[in-house]
């Protein structure tokens, strides 16, 4: 059989199962009102939660830094690619998160792969919330440890699973804010469990960093959890901070160890220094412009109460991620298409990103939206969701 036979079959299957995906082409910067594939939309699908990706101060920090530092970093951090903007950003992130030290990675995906595979190995145990981000699942696969998944946000189930086996080092991994559900992990309980059982605890706060906490330092600020309680914090810069890259924050010793051993830190080109400079400016805006978080909170309440009035059942989320459960992949796709016809860009999230039978619309709100924007979305949902409720019921009745 020619090698292309398998991919032809898999592609056909994807299409048939309504799981086929394709990137759309944005014709403008990230913002609420966007041009996509040549059409105008009001967008509710970006992770630019604070509206900083296209902020004039962030852009000019980037431009000025590019003038001074050029574009490419030239090499990995440990060769000669680690510049002053990188160093300043690491120091600012450590201070902001209340950790001793922070380390930059080029993406959040790489940060997760790097940390887990540096700390864990064959014979160890990695415990994962079932709804953890794909990069955490892949990280555990890569490190060779046993991967044990526990029921979503169910610490009791985690305890049961931890009691079964006690050899090797243990690590508990959880998203801070679950990316497809919008709910938050019971971090304080996880911290107690980890301490009692001498396990590492790592929280991936990709969606909480910049958004949660009075100052925007994320879920661990909101829950007042220190470095002793949560020794490994991962945050990304491509979401609320509106730039790109990621960091891991923790003790001097942990970061020192990661510098020596995290392969996705060592064997990759450092992010462009101008990106670090832009992120520094974003970080300043996160701290200084608390109104962005306040406005976002207001929009979340507006959306949730409006949806309740329409009889739409949302998931229990207090974050800017507000999923609308549909169930069937085809029905989710159809609803997303009807909304697109009404000028609303909302992505249908389907397996394998979420478990089978739990396809949904993932609506994300941003401080870049106005209350009128949210009102328009609610209106479009009121017109588009009737037929959808019917097909969702049909889907649930099917095996
Ligand atoms: C987006 C995301 C990542 C990956 O971060 P990138 O910087 O986009 O690679 C990791 N974990 C979670 C929970 C995420 O949502």
How confident is the model over 275-280, as a mean pLDDT? 98
Mutate to test the pocket of ligand 1, among 46, 206, 241, 245 (most ligand atoms within 8 A of CB): 206
Q: Which atom number of ligand 1 is nearest to the Cα of residue 237? A: 7
How confident is the model over 244-252, as a mean pLDDT? 98
Residue 218 makes CB contacts below 8 A (sequence gap 6+) with 97, 176, 205, 208, 209, 210, 211, 212, 233, 235
| Residue-wise pLDDT tens digits, 280-324 | 999 999 999 999 999 999 999 999 999 999 999 999 999 999 999
Mean pLDDT of the chain: 95
**What is the C-alpha separation between 235 and 212, in angstroms, rounded?**
12
The pLDDT assigned to 19 comes to 84
Which residue has its alpha carbon closest to ligand 1 atom 14?
206
| Residue-wise pLDDT tens digits, 126-148 | 999 999 999 999 999 999 999 99
Q: Is the Cβ atom of 322 under 6 angstroms away from ligand 1?
A: no
| Residue-wise pLDDT tens digits, 55-94 | 999 999 999 999 999 999 999 999 999 999 999 999 999 9
Q: Which is the catalytic residue, given 133, 239, 295, 369?
A: 239
Q: Is the Cβ atom of 135 under 6 angstroms away from ligand 1?
A: yes
CA of 98 to the centre of ligand 1 (A): 21
Share of the chain above pLDDT 90, in %: 93
What is the residue extent of each domain of the chain? 23-54+290-396, 56-288
Catalytic annotation present for 239: yes
Residue 273 predicted with pLDDT over 70: yes
Nearest-CA neighbor of 192 among 225, 222, 165?
225
Q: How confident is the model at residue 110 (pLDDT cuts 50, 70, 90)?
A: very high
Catalytic annotation present for 179: yes
Q: How confident is the model at residue 395 (pLDDT cuts 50, 70, 90)?
A: very low
The pLDDT assigned to 386 comes to 65
Residue 390 predicted with pLDDT over 50: no
Query: Is 56-288 a domain of CATH 3.30.210.10?
Result: no
390 three-class SS: helix
Contact between 162 and 193 (Cβ < 8 Å): yes
Residue 225 makes CB contacts below 8 A (sequence gap 6+) with 187, 188, 191
**What is the C-alpha separation between 116 and 138, in angstroms, rounded?**
10
Residue 398 predicted with pLDDT over 70: no
Q: Is the Cβ atom of 206 under 6 angstroms away from ligand 1?
A: yes
155 three-class SS: helix
- Cα–Cα–Cα angle for 175, 181, 184, rounded to 5 degrees: 45
DSSP letter, residue 80: I
Fold of 23-54+290-396: 3.90.1150
CA of 339 to the centre of ligand 1 (A): 26
How confident is the model over 180-200, as a mean pLDDT? 97
Q: At 345, phi and psi to the nearest 5?
A: -100, 105
Mutate to test the pocket of ligand 1, among 30, 45, 132, 236 (most ligand atoms within 8 A of CB): 236
Contact between 170 and 156 (Cβ < 8 Å): no
Size of the chain in residues = 399
Tokens standing for residue 333: 């796709």
Residue 391 predicted with pLDDT over 80: no
Longest dimension (CA), the chain: 61
């Amino acid at each position: 059989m020619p090698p292309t036979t398998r991919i032809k079959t898999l592609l056909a299957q994807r299409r048939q199962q309504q799981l086929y995906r394709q990137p759309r082409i944005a014709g403008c910067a990230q913002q609420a009102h966007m041009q996509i594939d040549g059409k105008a939309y009001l967008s509710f699908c970006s992770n630019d939660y604070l509206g900083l990706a296209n902020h004039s101060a962030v852009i000019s920090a980037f431009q000025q830094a590019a003038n001074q530092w050029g574009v490419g970093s030239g090499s990995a951090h440990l060769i000669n690619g680690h510049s002053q903007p990188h160093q300043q950003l690491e120091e600012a992130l450590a201070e902001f998160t209340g950790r001793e030290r922070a380390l930059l990675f080029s993406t959040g995906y790489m940060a997760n792969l790097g940390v887990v595979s540096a700390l864990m190995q064959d014979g160890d145990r990695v415990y994962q919330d079932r709804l953890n981000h794909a990069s955490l699942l892949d990280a555990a696969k890569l490190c060779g440890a046993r991967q044990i998944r526990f029921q979503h946000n169910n610490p009791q189930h985690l305890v049961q699973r931890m009691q079964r086996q006690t050899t090797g080092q243990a690590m508990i991994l959880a998203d801070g804010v679950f990316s497809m559900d919008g709910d938050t992990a019971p971090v304080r309980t996880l911290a107690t469990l980890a301490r009692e059982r001498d396990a590492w605890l790592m929280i991936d706060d990709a969606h909480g960093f910049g958004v949660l906490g009075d100052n925007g330092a994320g879920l661990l600020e909101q829950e007042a959890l220190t470095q002793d309680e949560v020794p490994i914090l991962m945050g990304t810069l491509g979401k609320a901070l509106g730039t790109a890259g990621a960091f891991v924050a923790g003790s001097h010793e942990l970061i020192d160890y990661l510098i020596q051993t995290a392969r996705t830190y060592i064997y990759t080109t450092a992010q462009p220094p101008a990106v670090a400079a832009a992120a520094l400016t974003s970080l300043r805006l996160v701290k200084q412009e608390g109104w962005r978080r306040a406005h976002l909170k207001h929009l979340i309440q507006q959306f949730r109460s409006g949806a309740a009035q329409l009889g739409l059942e949302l998931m229990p989320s207090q974050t800017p991620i507000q999923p609308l459960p549909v169930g069937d992949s085809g029905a989710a796709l159809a609803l997303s298409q009807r909304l697109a016809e009404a000028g609303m860009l909302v992505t249908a999230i389907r397996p394998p990103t979420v478990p089978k039978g739990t396809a949904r619309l993932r609506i994300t709100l941003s401080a870049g939206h106005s209350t009128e924007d949210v009102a328009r979305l609610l209106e479009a949902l009121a017109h588009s969701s009737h037929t959808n409720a019917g097909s969702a019921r049909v889907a649930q009745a099917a095996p």
